[in-house]
């Protein structure tokens, strides 16, 4: 299986605190680094964690509340000043491009690397990126302004041929890709070796679902169904359910209910209001509904 | 004398490092807090230093290179989210207003406090703010884009009446303001008590000069003449004098030469290139020209 893990760079909502940065997550899959949201201070968090940020090729911005993108222009600028030449792809609401362009214009900066902007649409699901290993798509959330979640889904793995079988049966090298894709092997004497007898089951493809700021929204359940890891915001505890609804945010209980109904393997909560110093009560409330819950904490890494 | 001190919130140039934030300084005079430049991460630095940032009423932005203002929109937003109601005055290049407005529009935010924007002009000196205690003015720097320095000059202090004299001579209370302003006292018997015999010299008004990014620029010398504290950028050491000129920045030797020619009391250097981990060599080079030099270091406070 390919490496697949998530590093929390920021877990605070709205305003940063001394301990928690605003939302930003780094998703590593195979050799690729994807950045999800980019609150103020993200570039410093990346440095402090010794993550070489020029390796990031794709940045996904969920929506244009400042705690999700105010660190982006600084990161883009630092990539420029530090001599980047590889393209950077940014996926976000259309107006984000205007905001970046205006700030680059103000400093008379022409980036020395290609910045490819891909506008997202918040009213439907769409595939934003795919290669041989992974597909990234967006889906609508329910928030005060247009906002998307992001789904990172591994492509199916190929079946594996048992190595001993290759020499025993004398399977020619050029047939191996076909067999990995599911073909049977017909030996020189006409004997058919069914694929299942010469290959082993591949690992199940994994899925990470990032659900940015949202009110309780059951429409996402079929989309994030059976995710290996679901991140869902929990700005408030259950006693502030009315406050949460007014602000189009979710409570611990609501996040855990989504996780339960979507039958995910693990739930990660975050985007905590600055009012909560101690996060244990939030974890307890969520676990009361969905046991396999973890807290997003700045600097923590989760294997997917 | 009124309290007058400077807190360094950021001392890095261009890109932040793990140890140094981009430019930001907090100037405290009497009860007033002035913020000078606002690089990314400034709001978190203020929090970590337990400075109540809602007390800041005036923010001065020198120019629109990102390392001097990318933290501003986040600070403005946090002031809003935390319930500010007092006006905030921002002084900076005209285009800064567009940048702030666009980002507030994108999040459909209407600030709950008055934000008064005062465009600065980079081609001349102008008074930006004054009250009974202090005058803040701007002056042109020599940089790749329009850029101003800022001068914080105390108003002259009143003379002090010797307390013993008030009772000895029976000076009526209503005359005290006039005597503090320099009037003589004429006693009931007609005796003239010259002002100098009944008052003491007031403290000298102090001056802080902030010279943001600039090439070596002798035009500023008469403006910052005799400052109690002069902050002057030193992006590079002397061996990179050509590099500095190309980028419209200064070296340690150039900053110290300005300090020497302007006969200031103390020089503060900062805006160090990220290439310098150890700042001692920069300090040594500057002190070789101007002994009374100090290093700007994040978190350090300088009395003026």
pLDDT tens digit string along A252-266? 999 999 999 999 999
Task: Please list the residues that pair with A25 across neighbouring strands.
Answer: A8, A36
A41 to chain B: which residues are within 8 Å by CB? Answer: 40-41, 44
Residue A261: what pLDDT? 98
Q: Which residues contact B148 (CB under 8 A, 6 or more apart)?
A: B62, B63, B120, B122, B138, B139, B140, B141, B212
Residue A157: what pLDDT? 93
3-state secondary structure of B202: coil
A107 to chain B: which residues are within 8 Å by CB? Answer: 64-66, 145
- For residue B132, what are its two tokens? 């009974």
Reported as a single tens digit per residue, the pLDDT across A188-212 is: 899 999 999 999 989 999 999 999 9
Q: Does B10 touch chain A (CB under 8 A)?
A: no
Q: What is the mean pLDDT of residues B91-110?
A: 97
Residue B97: what pLDDT? 98
The set of catalytic residues of B is 67
Q: What is the mean pLDDT of chain A?
A: 96
**Among B13, B15, B50, which would you mutate to test the A interface (most chain A Cβ atoms within 10 Å of its Cβ)?**
B15
A108 to chain B: which residues are within 8 Å by CB? Answer: 144-145
Nearest CB neighbour to A40, from listed B67, B74, B108 = B74
A74 to chain B: which residues are within 8 Å by CB? Answer: 16, 40, 66, 70
- DSSP letter at B239? G
Reported as a single tens digit per residue, the pLDDT across A49-107 is: 999 999 999 999 999 999 999 999 999 999 999 999 999 999 999 999 999 999 999 99
For A:22-61, CB contacts with B below 8 A are 40-41, 43-44, 47-48
H helix runs in chain B, sequence order: 42-48, 72-81, 95-106, 163-169, 176-180, 195-198, 221-224, 241-246, 252-261, 280-289
Q: Which domains does chain A have, with CATH numbers?
A: 4-157+203-303 (3.60.15.10), 160-200 (no CATH)
**Does the beta-carbon distance from A107 to B145 stay under 8 Å?**
yes
**Are the C-beta atoms of A103 and A119 separated by less than 8 Å?**
no
- DSSP letter at A207? E
Q: Does B65 touch chain A (CB under 8 A)?
A: yes
> CA-to-CA distance for A76 and B92, rounded, in angstroms?
23
Residue A18: what pLDDT? 87
Dihedral angle sign, alpha carbons of residues A46, A49, A53, A55: negative
Residue A280: what pLDDT? 98
Q: How confident is the model at residue B164 (pLDDT cuts 50, 70, 90)?
A: confident
Q: Does B173 touch chain A (CB under 8 A)?
A: no
Predicted interface score ipTM higher than 0.95: no
**Are the C-beta atoms of A40 and B66 separated by less than 8 Å?**
no
Strands, E assignment, A147-243: 148-154, 160-161, 185-186, 192-193, 199-200, 207-211, 229-233
Q: Does A13 touch chain B (CB under 8 A)?
A: no
Nearest CB neighbour to B47, from listed A18, A43, A77 = A18
> CA-to-CA distance for B216 and B242, rounded, in angstroms?
11
């Amino acid at each position: 299986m390919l490496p697949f893990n998530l590093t929390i760079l920021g877990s605070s909502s709205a305003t940063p605190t001394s301990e928690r940065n605003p939302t930003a997550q780094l998703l590593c899959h195979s050799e690729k680094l994807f950045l999800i949201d980019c609150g103020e201070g993200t570039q410093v968090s990346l440095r402090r964690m010794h993550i070489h940020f020029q390796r990031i090729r794709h940045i996904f911005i969920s929506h244009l509340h400042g705690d999700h993108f105010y660190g982006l222009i600084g990161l883009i600028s630092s990539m420029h000043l530090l001599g980047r030449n590889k393209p950077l792809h940014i996926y976000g609401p259309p107006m984000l491009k205007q905001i970046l362009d205006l700030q680059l214009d103000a400093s008379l900066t022409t980036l020395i690397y290609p910045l490819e902007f891909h506008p997202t649409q918040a009213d439907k699901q769409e595939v934003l990126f795919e290669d041989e290993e992974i597909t990234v798509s967006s889906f609508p959330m329910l928030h005060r302004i247009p906002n998307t979640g992001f789904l990172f889904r591994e492509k199916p793995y190929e079946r594996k041929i048992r190595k001993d079988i290759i020499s025993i049966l004398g399977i020619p090298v050029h047939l191996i890709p076909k067999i990995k894709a599911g073909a049977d092997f017909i030996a020189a004497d006409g004997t058919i070796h069914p694929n299942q007898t010469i290959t082993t089951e591949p690992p199940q493809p994994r899925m990470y679902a990032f659900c940015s700021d949202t009110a309780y929204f059951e429409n996402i359940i079929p989309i994030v169904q059976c995710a290996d890891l679901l991140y869902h915001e929990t700005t408030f505890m259950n006693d502030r359910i009315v406050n949460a609804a007014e602000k189009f945010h979710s409570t611990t209980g609501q996040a855990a209910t989504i996780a339960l109904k979507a039958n995910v393997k693990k739930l990660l909560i975050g985007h905590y209001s600055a009012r909560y110093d101690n996060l244990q009560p939030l974890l307890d409330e969520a676990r009361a509904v969905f046991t396999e819950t973890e807290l997003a904490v700045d600097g923590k890494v989760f294997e997917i």
